[in-house]
Amino acid sequence: MTTTSTGNNARRDFYERIGALSMAPLWESMHQLVPPAPMPGYVAAHWSYEAVRPFLMESGGLITAKEAIRRVLILENPSLRGTACATPTLYAGLQLILPGEVAPSHRHTQSALRFIVEGEGAYTAVAGERTIMREGDFVITPSWTWHDHGNESSQPMVWLDGLDIPIVRMFNAGFAENGAEDEQEVTRPEGDSDARYASGLLPVDHKPGRAASPIFNYPYARTREALARMAKAGAPDPCHGHKLRYVNPANGGAPIPTMGTFMQLLPAGFASAPYRSTDGQVFSVVEGSGETRIGGDAAGKGGTVVQWRKRDHFVVPSWARVEHRVEGEAVLFSFSDRPIQERLDLWREDRGGK
């Protein structure tokens, strides 16, 4: 028996004995616990709307929105099955609400975003105000606010739900309540929060209290116009094209404190320079088509190439390189946990020198 194997046997025996006391040797796992660079441990993923939509519509015949509470097909990362995670920190799902249906009022400490994928005319009510939702609108449901949805239009509505479920689960800070009525009482006229907070003005005595934005619908018409004017005015960023982040006008931060939300226009013929950042991201294709190489090397080789079209969804893991390529103009919505990472001085990016 060599000294080493004696040593190893002695160590194994030691690990077993300390294991009985719920202890473990750090030196066996230290390299994994403190890696030299992020090792995401989850994969790029893509859901084509063409493949998903028939199942969404089929779910409409299986259960009502009222019975389901929320009729949603979860977009679960293939390497995180069973966890309801699109990335280790983010939940994503596609919600269907049919004409005449109501998704009953409830509230929870998890924050939610809605990004409207198909249809228009359904409303969501948040904290006493309704807003009618249209394709491309970005709508928020802040933590612990009552919310219900209803579809008084004649077409199905589908939206992307993004929630900070894994984050709240990690903190074990989840609470939820059902409303007394299916539909909450409407106490303010439609457009009230828009009037007060969305014109570069704030009520004179507004006190920045909570972290979430006082605006709850950021309509696509305005976002799209901003992008179009920006694209007309100057050259795209080599990594992002023309990219904007949604903002809480009262504090300059993200509208939802746990999730950053972004919209970017990729001009016709654009090929982005390889870029990576520590926030894993979920993308929703708003306009156009193109392809994205995910997790390639600095020279733009290898990785997974996702070919996407309007209404598709895809996931870019943390610290995986992203390269977008389009023929015609395209618009992408995305969300990530970037605001949390920034608060904690953790967020990093690598622009590959661009």
Q: What residues from 96 to 125 belong to the interface with ligand 1HN (CB under 6 A)? A: 103, 108, 112
Q: How many residues bind ligand 1HN (CB under 6 A)?
A: 11
Q: Please give the structure tokens belonging to residue 161.
A: 């739900």
Q: What residues from 263 to 292 belong to the interface with ligand 1HN (CB under 6 A)? A: none
Give CB contacts under 8 A, 24+ apart, made by 302-310: 303/44, 304/43, 304/44, 306/44, 306/46, 308/46, 308/48, 308/283, 309/48, 309/49, 309/50, 309/285, 310/49, 310/285, 310/286
Smaller CB separation from ligand 1HN, 74 or 230: 74
Smaller CB separation from ligand 1HN, 141 or 336: 141
Residue 93 Cβ vs ligand 1HN, minimum distance, rounded to whole Å: 6
Q: Which residues pair with 149 in a beta bridge?
A: 103, 124
Residues 52 and 37: their CA atoms lie apart, in Å, by 35
Backbone phi and psi for residue 167, each to the nearest 5 degrees, phi listed first: -70, -45
Q: Does 95 bind ligand 1HN (CB under 6 A)?
A: yes
User: Is 97 in contact with 57 (CB distance < 8 Å)?
Assistant: no
Residue 161 Cβ vs ligand 1HN, minimum distance, rounded to whole Å: 4
Query: Residue 7 in 3-state DSSP?
Result: helix
Q: What's the angle, vertex CA 325, arms to CA 347 and CA 276, rounded to 5? A: 15
Smaller CB separation from ligand 1HN, 67 or 345: 67
Smaller CB separation from ligand 1HN, 161 or 194: 161
Q: Does 92 bind ligand 1HN (CB under 6 A)?
A: no
Length of the chain: 354
Q: Does 161 bind ligand 1HN (CB under 6 A)?
A: yes
Residue 91 Cβ vs ligand 1HN, minimum distance, rounded to whole Å: 6
Which residue stretch of 43-51, 159-167, 247-255, 321-329 sits at the interface with ligand 1HN (rule: CB under 6 A)? Answer: 159-167
Point out which residues bind ligand 1HN (CB under 6 A).
70, 72, 93, 95, 103, 108, 112, 147, 161, 163, 165
